[in-house]
Chains A and B, each alone.
Chain A
Amino acid sequence: NAGVTQTPKFRVLKTGQSMTLLCAQDMNHEYMYWYRQDPGMGLRLIHYSVGEGTTAKGEVPDGYNVSRLKKQNFLLGLESAAPSQTSVYFCASWTSGRETYEQYFGPGTRLTVT
């Protein structure tokens, strides 16, 4: 089991460019999340999905779009990158039907927008 993987690990973008971050999990989890982490602000939820074909807004969704066409993949898109989107992005997943709401995190993507 690879767990949760994220692609790419690092990326530098210029303002206005677009990109897609890919999250993949091989644990058959229903729920997948995208967070951003900035110094002193913890992890903030961008968008999440409770199942294939569904998405919902989190705490800081502006400037991002997501898609969950396959259960194992959750894509995060930046249509027109801005310096304020410089951050570390983490994807996480978990499954229902268990007593523990344990989220499994990917290794993160470090994005710099210049």
Chain B
Amino acid sequence: GQQVMQIPQYQHVQEGEDFTTYCNSSTTLSNIQWYKQRPGGHPVFLIQLVKSGEVKKQKRLTFQFGEAKKNSSLHITATQTTDVGTYFCAGLTGYQKVTFGTGTKLQVIP
């Protein structure tokens, strides 16, 4: 079945360092979304990418969708303690069905 993997599973960074998480799908995706989940909270939508090679930015966050639409990345520049949480990618697979990646848990050390 459809698989969406993320690496790394965990990442500890010093505040101010950059962070990147990678998402890889076993099949081509029509679109990909990114969500952030704070500790003890629920996932919150960040962004959606649709086009091959698309790049979108939200302040210090840069999202990229691969040319083959099977992979994506999220890069955070100069991390802050407010960036702590787990970041999930999610791909639309099948009719109105979304498969979430395994997530990357980010810890920022002040």
Contacts and interface: CB of A to CB of B under 8 A. Distances in A.
Interface string B35-74: 1000001111100101000000000000000000000000
Contacts of B96: 31, 48, 50, 96
A105 B43 contact: yes
A96 B95 CA distance: 12
A34 B48 CA distance: 21
Interface string A74-108: 00000000000000001010001001111111111
Contacts of A35: 100
B89 to A, nearest CB: 9
Contacts of A31: 96
Interface residues of A, number: 27
Q: Is the interface of A mostly helix, strand, loop or mixed?
A: loop
Given A90-B43, A105-B42, A44 B9 contact: no
A78 B92 CA distance: 27
Contacts of B80: none
Contacts of A44: 100
Interface string A14-54: 00000000000000000101010000111111001010000
B95 to A, nearest CB: 7
Contacts of A100: 45, 48
A58 B94 CA distance: 11
Contacts of A99: 48, 50
A62 interface: no
Interface of B: 1, 6, 9, 31, 33, 35, 41-45, 48, 50, 88, 90, 92, 95-103
25 contacts: A31-B96, A41-B102, A42-B88, A42-B100, A42-B103, A43-B43, A43-B88, A43-B90, A43-B100, A43-B103, A44-B100, A45-B98, A48-B96, A50-B95, A50-B96, A56-B97, A59-B1, A96-B96, A99-B48, A101-B48, A101-B98, A102-B33, A102-B45, A103-B43, A108-B42
Given A59-B99, A90-B43, A100-B45, 5 more contacts: A35-B100, A42-B103, A50-B95, A58-B97, A103-B98
